[in-house]
Structure 1
């Protein structure tokens, strides 16, 4: 190992930063290549500017992201794809802390306080291994698997051989090139013929999972036994994902729940649990899991308005929360940060959903349309699945058939882009239950009613539109037909139908810039100037 490596120290304590730096200077590392950051945001900015060879991450970074959230963000944003040495520095070596970090596979852990000898010996050991693994990878790139195998046989003993092959296989699997899959399987099977090496088994299971080889995967997963808590966590997660891919949702839920009890820091898994609990109405754990997600969301890679909106929406289904203002529920997650334009779009949508609970259909429609126009300006072509899901649920409650069909189709297309992704599989279950409510038989009647209007058979068309309105509520085309026919006296309505006129008028009254045709019609027909309330 040379001492010219670039180093980043991430710690909220200036004293710890300087102490660590002094230890490194005593180890002959160059001062100008040692950088420090007091929080996750500064660390991310530094990693965006340059690649570090060694990164020290303190677990507790004070206000803002934890060290675990920082590592998750660096991993997710591919800022550590060059595979630096990552040391987690903590005074707390409890299993729960180490388990959380283990899912992102840092190089090693340093327990405070540590000495120069400990630090240099750990760095030396891991750099030697790092260089050896790089040499194996270079041999593979030049001469294929058999070339890498010859290099390994000439330069390593058994334990080192197994570790190096598994590291090579992992590196190739992360690259996600299908042409490497055959080689990955060959090298992992080569290890397993010599030894029941659990890391190789877990990696082979991960490969088969990505290939959807579920028939051979499930019995293989059952055969894996590990005394290591970290390996057991990976095994549970693989079992959960495999079960969900086979639509064994309850089984997947139990595996994920067991994994969550080992490590409560994985928000992907936690959101998966909440989705399953919501879809299958598992009420025993959902309250606690929502609280955990709300507490962990800020500063993580999941810190986005669509995830806030999902958690608020799920809470609005609970009897104790359904009347709580959505702004209050949102604020409990965001810690009362200022609303962004994205936030406001989701808040309007959530208010619309809440208004349907109290049958305030006019308010719900107004907020719903405001949310749609706001979000479409912001997100352009790609609406989040969370927005579409909540919008679909509002459209169903308001019986807005065209919007129900539209959002159902958009969600189906979104899920079909990655149909084997576990969250998408769970969401598809929810979507199928919702699409069962679409009444396609009425589509022909809708077209026929509009045809009658074009043929100026207003009385017959009006009778048919009155029957269609409860399914196509707030439909702009039907709304215009109703308003025009009502103003001109073509609709014979009973007192019980007065809400139909109010709702049809509200389609246009609720618009900030009312259509010109509607304003002209109001100026000619006094009946359209009556108060809506």
Structure 2
């Protein structure tokens, strides 16, 4: 089972739920949503997780301004924000301007996951997509598993944030040797992406092909397509 498939009842016991809420208490959250009713609904869900440090933005300009003022642990951003920047453009600008710390979780909220949106996000992917409508339990599950992933990959993310790809690769290779069952597939995906970043297409191709020998995974097929495109 992949870490991204944590069952929704993982935190169902009162003790585990209490522990989880305590760990989330100090997290700073930014909600970017142009619809006031939806902002309120998401805010109430977040309050229910014991997270009180919440900032709201109704458009892209307000979101970027908020990220300039302080660092957020979690950003919940709607994709379609009406006029102005959309959610993907906010993500791209925030990363370009280094407004998102390496430990931040960016969740894109969408009405529908269109092919054009997904393909347009290939270079700057959010940590997670959530399709409306969703409930508090689903949102909690996505937040928790992405925080867990960020914590596990912290040294890799930190190296990437500082622009040290070689160090990120070294950390990734070390973690792959640990044979972490929950994270192994994601580490392979990340390792292939890092190989592409430095132009090591042979390494990336070998990873994708090895993954596809075990089963049909869209991201590995897409990876081979990206390599073919980059190599004309």
Q: What is the SS of the residue equivalent to 1:36?
A: strand
1:183 corresponding residue in structure 2:
170
Question: In 2 relative to 1, CA 230–58 (structure 1 residues): closer, same or farther, beyond 3 Å?
Answer: farther
Return the alpha-carbon distance in structure 2 between the equivalents of residues 55 and 219 of structure 1: 33
Structure 2 residue 59 is matched with structure 1 residue 7: no
1:84 corresponding residue in structure 2:
104
Tell me the TM-score normalised to structure 1 length.
Answer: 0.34
Return the alpha-carbon distance in structure 2 between the equivalents of residues 83 and 198 of structure 1: 17
1:316 corresponding residue in structure 2:
none
Structure 2 residue 226 is matched with structure 1 residue 207: no
Return the alpha-carbon distance in structure 1 between the equivalents of residues 169 and 148 of structure 2: 29
Q: What is the SS of the residue equivalent to 1:88?
A: strand
Question: In 2 relative to 1, CA 79–224 (structure 1 residues): closer, same or farther, beyond 3 Å?
Answer: farther
Question: In 2 relative to 1, CA 172–239 (structure 1 residues): closer, same or farther, beyond 3 Å?
Answer: farther
2:75 corresponding residue in structure 1:
55
2:91 corresponding residue in structure 1:
71
The runs of 5 or more residues in structure 1 that have no matched partner are 138-167, 244-251, 253-533
Return the alpha-carbon distance in structure 1 between the equivalents of residues 26 and 169 of structure 2: 38
Aligned 8 A contact 1:173 1:207 in 2: no
Return the alpha-carbon distance in structure 1 between the equivalents of residues 57 and 47 of structure 2: 17
Q: CA RMSD in A?
A: 3.3
Aligned 8 A contact 1:102 1:230 in 2: no
Aligned 8 A contact 2:102 2:161 in 1: no
Question: In 2 relative to 1, CA 198–98 (structure 1 residues): closer, same or farther, beyond 3 Å?
Answer: same
Alpha-carbon offset, residue 225 of structure 1: 5.4
1:172 corresponding residue in structure 2:
159
Alpha-carbon offset, residue 62 of structure 1: 0.2
Aligned 8 A contact 1:23 1:116 in 2: yes
1:27 corresponding residue in structure 2:
49
Return the alpha-carbon distance in structure 2 between the equivalents of residues 132 and 188 of structure 1: 9
Question: In 2 relative to 1, CA 109–79 (structure 1 residues): closer, same or farther, beyond 3 Å?
Answer: same
2:225 to 236, 252, 262: 236
Question: In 2 relative to 1, CA 238–110 (structure 1 residues): closer, same or farther, beyond 3 Å?
Answer: same
Alignment map for 1:54-453 (pairs within 5 Å): 54-101=74-121, 103-134=123-154, 137=155, 168=156, 171-173=158-160, 175-177=162-164, 180=167, 183-184=170-171, 186-187=173-174, 190=177, 197=185, 199-200=187-188, 203-204=191-192, 206-207=194-195, 210=198, 216-217=202-203, 220=206, 223=209, 226=212, 227-241=216-230, 243=231, 252=232
From the two aligned structures, give the one with the greater helix fraction.
1
Return the alpha-carbon distance in structure 2 between the equivalents of residues 178 and 94 of structure 1: 31
Which structure has the larger Rg? 1
Alignment map for 1:494-509 (pairs within 5 Å): none
Alpha-carbon offset, residue 9 of structure 1: 0.7
Structure number with the bigger relative contact order (C-alpha 8 A, sep ≥ 6) is: 2
1:407-434 CA-to-partner distances (Å, cap 9, x unmatched) read xxxxxxxxxxxxxxxxxxxxxxxxxxxx
1:45 corresponding residue in structure 2:
65
Return the alpha-carbon distance in structure 1 between the equivalents of residues 187 and 169 of structure 2: 18
Alpha-carbon offset, residue 177 of structure 1: 3.2
Alpha-carbon offset, residue 25 of structure 1: 1.8
Alignment map for 1:459-470 (pairs within 5 Å): none
Aligned 8 A contact 1:221 1:239 in 2: no
1:70-103 CA-to-partner distances (Å, cap 9, x unmatched) read 1111122121133311111112134443443454
Alpha-carbon offset, residue 121 of structure 1: 2.6
Return the alpha-carbon distance in structure 1 between the equivalents of residues 113 and 95 of structure 2: 22
Aligned residues: 204
Tell me the TM-score normalised to structure 2 length.
Answer: 0.71
Aligned 8 A contact 1:54 1:84 in 2: yes
From the two aligned structures, give the one with the greater strand fraction.
2
Aligned 8 A contact 1:191 1:197 in 2: no
2:12 corresponding residue in structure 1:
none
2:39 corresponding residue in structure 1:
17
